[in-house]
Structure 1
């Protein structure tokens, strides 16, 4: 296992208190590399297209959303899969690259640059007043890796995660659910400001590896909606039912574009981000419209669109959703990734992916937006050695025998005082 420096990761739990996040460790002597996103324009475009494809897959799956409502984080899933790809080899590495459309060269460096660009808006989620989202957006991205302390984890893999992803590594005892589950949940709760309180995958004490990405976003609109202008107005649901919902109104400059079967805008936050809103034409086949290829065309059109003065009516919403990502990834074509016991050995010996899940939520109102997501990918060493009940090191003179088991006769007997001679 890679050399690790820091305090012990043991977690002391008090029955009346929430679990603390265990001490974060990192690969010895490895620091995060600083890279400039402008040097990776082609790679970042590939990431954008990959995230759009993942988003389409998440929307098609629908998760456990009700009434057709879905909220997901393709960005979080992309980062988690990129961290997984950093430990892949053979057919699995080729499959991940092909299905996700990842850059052939400089993949980890480009992801480092992407994360560094987002880090310009980093902040502590605990400081956010969610009733009054901040004018300077808070975009907090965290990467975590919980590994079983009894299972060796690849040094090169840990170094890559430290160098390009800033991933915190947390050695734990997965067999001790009472200690480790609260620790993982505490990591999730802390990095999402409590919007997501538990890791999305069901806890399994047989796991030896849990990779997590979290995304927390809070931002005020550039021009807030006037609450006094919000009124109940008709909204036709996907099922054709007409209902009344609180509808916000605003008149402001924003990017506007349209294409076959759709119109859309980029509603700006105060800085650095927009909410891209796309309205299908009445009677349009929405699933066909929002295929990955269609999403790319919409993104290109809105990226290049000029500003226009737009009167916008937008409902408030507050949604949450969770996904079984194994189902999503299998449908996307990652069969080898989900079944191999060989191609992730750079992470842990003969590891197999056992679980993948995501939880996401979003609140959109007059003042701005608050959202959070957590993606979790778990694995298990398929040939894990039994956990020792005792430890004995023959590091000083010792006695030995070669014994015939049936009779108990020592055929050989000796002592080792110096193994060299």
Structure 2
């Protein structure tokens, strides 16, 4: 029986404004937008965005997603699979590259590694992001594989006795708890004793609204899940000068809500969700961000909390990454002698959106007068994205079908 590699693309946690304290600075960020001469970086970031929409459409089309909220971190998935590609060879490597959108005639593995180094560094001052690799005590990975993961993907390495699943579970969960400052204490419930390597990618982001919502204005309102089903939800409200755009071609209203750093949330309210989902592309994001217009609106956005978990084996297989799950997988860049295969690719993500705490109830820039203003009300299914404005990196993406589930 082949030994197994578990790829766990975890920990996308967003807390949108539960307080009004400055975000801790980790290190000086690299300004990706200023590095226009780095063609390789642009190729990788462009591929990441295309992969984000391709993966979104696959998740939406999956039978298990019908009627469910969708939420995931494209950059987390891309980074983990790119890290795995370091140890892949032959057709297995080509499938990973093709599916991620990396043209092997334009990009080498070193190019991709360098690009992710810059991407991760650029996010370091605003979010906590990284990779951890847990290696079985009796398994010997190639030093070059671990070196690349450490130097380019900021990977921490840990030895684990996977033959003792309880010990392995405790070791991984303790590390996850430490990396997330106690936000997640129980990630792994069980382990396959045949596991030899466990690769985990994590992202933690806490966003503070640049213009907070006033909790005193939050009231219950109806959210239309379908034509015949409505549910009561706490609806946050404000009247303020906000950035909006209406895309006539796909009949979608776009609301841009900045955080107090270089990230912002895009909320997309379509007339017809199927039209938006079938046509949306990275070019739309670029155009919207350039053509946003500021004007006074009454906006209503539901509070919601989502926790999603996806086993991505079938989705990635359909997208073109088939070999890594099969006995003929070529992951010889990870180890000599043994024939490891990927047993699971699992992604968990959490989104928590609410107003600011009471300490920020005054809300800079909020107008509470009874002025006449158009209303933008997110009271039916909509798409949400959290992006890095300067480089248009998509940190998180999802769809809110029902804020109560």
Q: Do these two structures clear the TM 0.5 threshold for a shared fold by scoring above it?
A: yes
Contact 2:30 2:122 (C-alpha < 8 Å) held by counterparts: no
Question: Which residue number in structure 1 is paired with residue 356 of structure 2?
Answer: 367
TM superposition shift of 1:157 = 1.1
The answer to whether residue 242 in structure 2 is matched with residue 276 in structure 1 is no
Question: Which residue number in structure 2 is paired with residue 26 of structure 1?
Answer: none
Contact 1:200 1:357 (C-alpha < 8 Å) held by counterparts: no
CA distance in 2, matches of 1:163, 1:60: 37
Structure 1: stretches of 5+ with no match in the other structure: 1-33, 122-138, 374-421
Question: Which residue number in structure 2 is paired with residue 109 of structure 1?
Answer: 114
Q: Which has the higher contact order (CA 8 A, sep 6+)?
A: 2
The answer to whether residue 88 in structure 2 is matched with residue 88 in structure 1 is yes
Question: Structure 1 residues 56 and 196, CA, compared in 2 at 3 Å: closer, same or farther?
Answer: farther
TM superposition shift of 1:252 = 2.6
Question: Which residue number in structure 1 is paired with residue 178 of structure 2?
Answer: 190
CA distance in 1, matches of 2:193, 2:215: 49
CA RMSD between the two structures: 2.6
Question: Which residue number in structure 2 is paired with residue 23 of structure 1?
Answer: none
The answer to whether residue 321 in structure 2 is matched with residue 316 in structure 1 is no
- State the Cα deviation string for residues 212-271 of structure 1 (Å, max 9, x = none): 001111111000011111111221013631222211112233253424132212211111
Where does 1:128-277 land on structure 2 (aligned, <5 Å)? Answer: 139-199=127-187, 202-238=190-226, 240-250=228-238, 251-258=240-247, 259-277=249-267
Q: Indicate the structure (1 or 2) with the bigger Cα radius of gyration.
A: 1
Question: Which residue number in structure 1 is paired with residue 284 of structure 2?
Answer: 298
1:84 match: secondary structure: helix
The answer to whether residue 41 in structure 2 is matched with residue 45 in structure 1 is no
Structure 2: stretches of 5+ with no match in the other structure: 1-28, 358-383, 387-394, 397-405
CA distance in 2, matches of 1:299, 1:143: 28
CA distance in 1, matches of 2:187, 2:226: 31
CA distance in 2, matches of 1:336, 1:306: 43
Question: Which residue number in structure 2 is paired with residue 27 of structure 1?
Answer: none
Question: Which residue number in structure 2 is paired with residue 74 of structure 1?
Answer: 74
1:208 match: secondary structure: strand
CA distance in 2, matches of 1:177, 1:164: 30
1:228 match: secondary structure: helix
TM superposition shift of 1:99 = 1.5
CA distance in 2, matches of 1:353, 1:313: 44
Q: TM-score, normalised by structure 2?
A: 0.72
Contact 1:144 1:169 (C-alpha < 8 Å) held by counterparts: yes
Contact 1:195 1:361 (C-alpha < 8 Å) held by counterparts: no
Question: Which residue number in structure 1 is paired with residue 16 of structure 2?
Answer: none
CA distance in 2, matches of 1:194, 1:220: 20
CA distance in 1, matches of 2:57, 2:178: 29
Contact 1:175 1:205 (C-alpha < 8 Å) held by counterparts: yes
Q: TM-score, normalised by structure 1?
A: 0.69
TM superposition shift of 1:302 = 1.9
